[in-house]
Amino acid sequence: MSPSRRRRGVSLAEVMVATAFMAVAVTALLQTIWVVHENESVAKNRAVGLATAETMIAEVRTSVLDGTFVTGTTSAVVTLPGIKGNVTKTRTITQVASFTELYEVVAKVAWTGDSVQLVTYVRYPDG
């Protein structure tokens, strides 16, 4: 081939290589976008679950202040904005061994495929 003929265009092989490269690049880009979307969804669900667990603990602290503090386990199935399906909220309050005024509070929020749990301690004078 003469030099002038090669400068006029691209060969079929070059087009095929470029097309294959673009196909791989676009596929990788789409997979990355999908993974980012999935991770964002998980993070949003956990943020909603964490906020709910924090609210549950705040309710326990309020019950200490107003005198309605009760030990034991309570559970409820609710729906929360941002999380698809039912959500189970479980709160467990138990007295810490060897400490008459110290209680462990566990707030767990669970939904399909994931959950968050917060643990804290509160002081409540029994007498």
What would the pLDDT profile of 14-48 be if each residue is shown by its tens digit? 999 999 999 999 999 999 988 888 878 888 999 99
Give the CA dihedral 27, 43, 92, 102, nearest 10 degrees.
130
What would the pLDDT profile of 54-98 be if each residue is shown by its tens digit? 999 999 999 988 888 899 999 999 998 888 889 999 999 999 998
Using CA atoms, how far residue 92 sits from 12, 40, 53, 56, in Å, is 70, 30, 12, 10
Q: What is the pTM of this model?
A: 0.71
